[in-house]
Amino acid sequence: MQTHFITANGIKLHVQTDGPENGTSVVLLHGFPEFWYGWRRQIPALVEAGFRVIVPDQRGYNLSDKPKGVAAYDVDVLARDVIGLLDHFGIQKARLVGHDWGAVVAWTVALQHPDRLEKLAILNVPHPDVMTRFVLGNPAQRKKSWYVFFFQLPFVEWILSRNSSPS
């Protein structure tokens, strides 16, 4: 594995890469509250299959920048981070895999920049239109998805951004 710190979409991203540089690129996007290490068991199999694996810590996670403010984490901004990552590595089209929150970002990339993807693999998240219809129309699903709404409350950002170390 190689460690990189790259600039993409105006922030510094921590990125791990492995596999042949001339291999077909596979970008793996982690979920919440994970970071690149969540893919540690899949990376060797992909490398063995000849893929170039690129695994960023998304903004706000682990060693990547953590910009202030809710707007910095808008899913459209996060999708532009992925495009910036592809641009940095000179990748015109990639295979993109997203899990959990990374799947939401991957769906957004696919919908906004389909020309940049060769393939899309989504783990654990339905298409955004299906999810919206299901959450709005199904009380049981709304109950199961409570945490999505919780993390959008303004005071939660304030609580999570506080320094928890003792004074």
User: Does pLDDT of 166 surpass 60?
Assistant: no
Q: Supply 114's token pair.
A: 């389909």
Which domains, and CATH codes, for the chain?
2-125 (3.40.50.1820), 126-167 (no CATH)
What type of residue is 16? Answer: Q
pLDDT in tens, 37-62: 999 999 999 999 999 999 999 999 99
* Mean pLDDT on 136-150: 76
Using CA atoms, how far apart are residues 94 and 96, in angstroms rounded to an integer?
Answer: 6
Q: 61: exposed, middle or buried (C-beta count within 10 Å: 0-12, 13-18, 19+)? A: buried
Using CA atoms, how far apart are residues 42 and 30, in angstroms rounded to an integer?
Answer: 12
> Using omega within 30 degrees of 0 as the cis cutoff, is the peptide bond preceding 33 cis?
yes
User: Does pLDDT of 154 surpass 70?
Assistant: no
167: confidence class by pLDDT, cuts 50, 70, 90: very low
Question: Across all residues in the chain, what is the average pLDDT?
Answer: 89
Using CA atoms, how far apart are residues 131 and 44, in angstroms rounded to an integer?
Answer: 32
pLDDT at 135: 77
150: confidence class by pLDDT, cuts 50, 70, 90: low
Model confidence, pTM: 0.84
126: confidence class by pLDDT, cuts 50, 70, 90: confident
66: confidence class by pLDDT, cuts 50, 70, 90: very high
pLDDT at 20: 97
